[in-house]
Amino acid sequence: MNQILRPSAARGAADFGWLKSRHSFSFGSYYDPDHIGFGALRVINEDRVEPSAGFGTHPHRNMEIISYVISGALEHKDSLGTGSVIRPDELQRMTAGTGVTHSEYNHSDDDLVHFLQIWIVPERDGLEPGYEQKTFPQVERTDALRLLGSRDARDGSVTIHQDVDLYGSVLTANKSLTFDIRPGRKVWVQMVKGRLTANGQTLQAGDGLGILDTGPLDLVAGETSEFLLFDLAA
User: Which CATH number characterizes residue 228's domain?
Assistant: 2.60.120.10
Q: Residue 107, annotated ligand binder?
A: no
What pLDDT is recorded for position 23? 98
- Of all helices (H) and strands (E), which one includes residue 141? helix 138-141
pLDDT tens for 30-65 read: 999 999 999 999 999 999 999 999 999 999 999 999
Q: Residue 102, annotated ligand binder?
A: yes
- In degrees, rounded to 5, the angle at the alpha carbon of residue 44 between the alpha carbons of residues 41 and 85 is 115
pTM: 0.97
What pLDDT is recorded for position 1? 65
Number of domains in the chain: 1
Distances (CA, A) of 124 to 66, 80, 98, 151, 163: 17, 20, 11, 13, 11
Query: pLDDT below 70 — which residues of the chain?
Result: 1
Distances (CA, A) of 157 to 4, 125, 165, 192: 27, 22, 9, 20
What pLDDT is recorded for position 83? 87
Q: Residue 104, annotated ligand binder?
A: yes
Q: Residue 58, annotated ligand binder?
A: yes
- The mean pLDDT value of the chain amounts to 96
Distances (CA, A) of 144 to 89, 132, 228: 14, 23, 11
How far is Cα of residue 115 from the mean position of the Cα atoms in its chain?
9
Give residue 60's domain range: 3-233
